[in-house]
Amino acid sequence: MESMQWEMAASSGTALLMWIVGLVVVGVLLAAFFWGRRVRSREPAPPRPDEQPKMPEGGPVGEVQEFREPNEVPRDGGRLLPTELDGNYGTPSTHRSPSQDPEDHKKPGGGSFGSGGPG
């Protein structure tokens, strides 16, 4: 008889624990929901239709592909320190290359794996 009372006490304790866990989970979900609404209310509103970007009068702008002249590092034989570079070497320049023929701008293949070279 005592073992039966112990089982009933254990099962009622487990049921109480499950109720408490369930209430905690619901509380966490409600808190997350209200916190998300609060964060969302601080964000700017989506743009109105009259604030949307407009297409240019001449229609959509096409893609422009052109070859640019590289900014070469000076090759006077002297040593350049990183502090002596102004940050523009090796980056594309702002002026157009005189030749726009793709064959003039092909880089020679290297000797690494997959280059098709011997060995």
Work out the average pLDDT over 11-18.
Answer: 84
pLDDT attached to residue 112:
60
Residue 94 phi, psi dihedral angles, 5° rounding: -95, 0
pTM of this structure? 0.36
Work out the average pLDDT over 75-97.
Answer: 69
Classified as helix, coil or strand, 94 is strand
pLDDT attached to residue 89:
59
Is the separation of the CB atoms in 93 and 69 below 8 Å?
yes
> Which two tokens mark 39?
């964060």
> Which two tokens mark 45?
């509103």
pLDDT attached to residue 36:
95
- Give the separation between CA 62 and CA 73, rounded to whole angstroms: 33
Give me the chain's average pLDDT, please.
Answer: 77
pLDDT attached to residue 38:
95
pLDDT tens digits for 98-115? 777 777 767 766 556 655
- Give the separation between CA 116 and CA 119, rounded to whole angstroms: 9
Tell me which H or E stretch contains 36: helix 2-42
